[in-house]
Chains A and B, each alone.
Chain A
Amino acid sequence: MSDKKIDQNSFEPVDMSLHEAEAISRRSLTYWQDAWRRLKKNHLSMLGLVAIILMTLLALIGPLFSSFSYSDQSLELGNIPPRLEIYQVGPDHYVYMNKEYKLIEVTREGEVLSRHIPLEDNIFEKFRIYEIGGKNVKVDYSFAAAASKSSDAEAVKFAISIDGEPLEILDEVRNQTYRFGSDNLGRDLFTRVLYGARISLLIALVATLVNFFIGVLYGGIAGFAGGRVDNLMMRVVDVIATVPLLLYVILLMVIFEPGLKTIMIAIGTVYWVNMARIVRGQILAIKEQEFVLAARTLGASSSRILIRHLIPNAMGPIIVALAMMIPSAIFTEAFLSFIGLGVSAPMASWGTLANDAVSGLRTHPYQLFYPALFISVTVLAFNFLGDGLRDALDPRLRK
Chain B
Amino acid sequence: MASYLLKRILAMVITLWFVITITFFLMHAIPGGPFSSEKQLPDEVLEALNEKYHLNDPLYKQYFDYLGGVMTFDFGPSFKRVGISVNDLIYSGFPVSAKVGGMSILVIILMGIPIGIISALKQNSPTDYFVTIMATIGVAVPNFVIATVIIYIFSSRLGILPSHGLTSWVHYLGPVVSLSGFSLAFVARLTRSSMLEVMQQDYIRTARAKGLDEGVVIFKHALKNALIPVVTYMGPMIAAILTGSFVIERIFAIPGMGKYFVESVGNRDYTVIMGITIFYALFAIVMILIVDIIYGLIDPRIKFSD
**Which residues does A use to contact B, with CB under 8 Å?**
153, 235, 238-239, 242-244, 246-248, 250-255, 327, 331, 334-335, 338-341, 354, 357-358, 361-362, 365, 368, 372, 375-377, 379-380, 383, 399
Choose among A247, A341, A372, A376 the residue that contacts B243 (Cβ–Cβ < 8 A). Answer: A247
Choose among A254, A339, A380 the residue that contacts B273 (Cβ–Cβ < 8 A). Answer: A254
A243 close to B19 (CB less than 8 A): yes
B144 close to A239 (CB less than 8 A): no
B142 close to A375 (CB less than 8 A): yes
In the bound complex, residues from chain A placing their C-beta under 8 Å from that of B156 are 361-362
Expressed in whole angstroms, the Cα–Cα distance for A262 and B8 within the complex equals 34
A399 close to B196 (CB less than 8 A): yes
Given A239-B15, A251-B23, A255-B29, A244-B242 contact (CB < 8 Å): yes
Which of B201-209, B213-221, B246-254 contacts its partner? B246-254
B140 within 8 A of A: yes
B140 close to A380 (CB less than 8 A): yes
Expressed in whole angstroms, the Cα–Cα distance for A335 and B182 within the complex equals 14
In the bound complex, residues from chain B placing their C-beta under 8 Å from that of A253 are 265
**Which residues does B use to contact A, with CB under 8 Å?**
11, 14-15, 18-19, 22-23, 26-27, 29-30, 136-137, 139-142, 144-145, 148-149, 151-152, 156-157, 193, 196-197, 239, 242-243, 246-247, 250-251, 262, 265-266, 268, 273, 277, 280-281, 284-285, 288
B140 close to A383 (CB less than 8 A): yes
B26 close to A383 (CB less than 8 A): no
B285 close to A243 (CB less than 8 A): yes
Choose among A247, A334, A377 the residue that contacts B277 (Cβ–Cβ < 8 A). Answer: A247
How close is B119's CB to chain A, nearest CB, in angstroms? 13
In the bound complex, residues from chain B placing their C-beta under 8 Å from that of A383 are 136, 139-140
Choose among B27, B137, B243, B262 the residue that contacts A244 (Cβ–Cβ < 8 A). Answer: B243
A361 close to B144 (CB less than 8 A): no
Q: List 19 A-B contacts (CB under 8 A).
A: A239-B15, A239-B18, A243-B281, A244-B239, A244-B243, A250-B265, A251-B27, A254-B273, A334-B144, A339-B246, A339-B265, A354-B142, A357-B148, A361-B151, A361-B156, A368-B145, A368-B148, A372-B149, A376-B140
A380 close to B26 (CB less than 8 A): no
Closest to B235 in A: A242
A243 close to B280 (CB less than 8 A): yes
B19 close to A358 (CB less than 8 A): no
B145 close to A254 (CB less than 8 A): no
- Apart from the given pairs A235-B11, A244-B284, A247-B280, 10 other A-B contacts in the complex at a CB distance below 8 Å: A243-B281, A243-B284, A244-B243, A248-B22, A250-B265, A254-B273, A361-B152, A361-B156, A375-B142, A383-B140
Given A243-B285, A247-B277, A247-B281, A362-B139 contact (CB < 8 Å): no
In the bound complex, residues from chain B placing their C-beta under 8 Å from that of A246 are 239, 243
In the bound complex, residues from chain B placing their C-beta under 8 Å from that of A250 are 265, 277
Expressed in whole angstroms, the Cα–Cα distance for A250 and B262 within the complex equals 9
Given A251-B277, A361-B151, A362-B156, A243-B140 contact (CB < 8 Å): no
A242 close to B285 (CB less than 8 A): yes
B26 close to A361 (CB less than 8 A): no
B137 close to A339 (CB less than 8 A): no
Expressed in whole angstroms, the Cα–Cα distance for A16 and B285 within the complex equals 70
Given A255-B29, A361-B151, A379-B140, A238-B273 contact (CB < 8 Å): no
Expressed in whole angstroms, the Cα–Cα distance for A235 and B280 within the complex equals 20
B136 close to A362 (CB less than 8 A): no
Which 9 A-B pairs rank lowest in CB-CB distance, beginning with the nearest?
A244-B239, A380-B140, A379-B140, A372-B145, A243-B281, A399-B193, A246-B243, A239-B15, A376-B140
Choose among B27, B247, B280 the residue that contacts A255 (Cβ–Cβ < 8 A). Answer: B27
A354 close to B145 (CB less than 8 A): yes
B145 close to A251 (CB less than 8 A): no
In the bound complex, residues from chain A placing their C-beta under 8 Å from that of B265 are 250, 253-254, 339-341
Closest to B157 in A: A153
In the bound complex, residues from chain A placing their C-beta under 8 Å from that of B277 are 247, 250-251
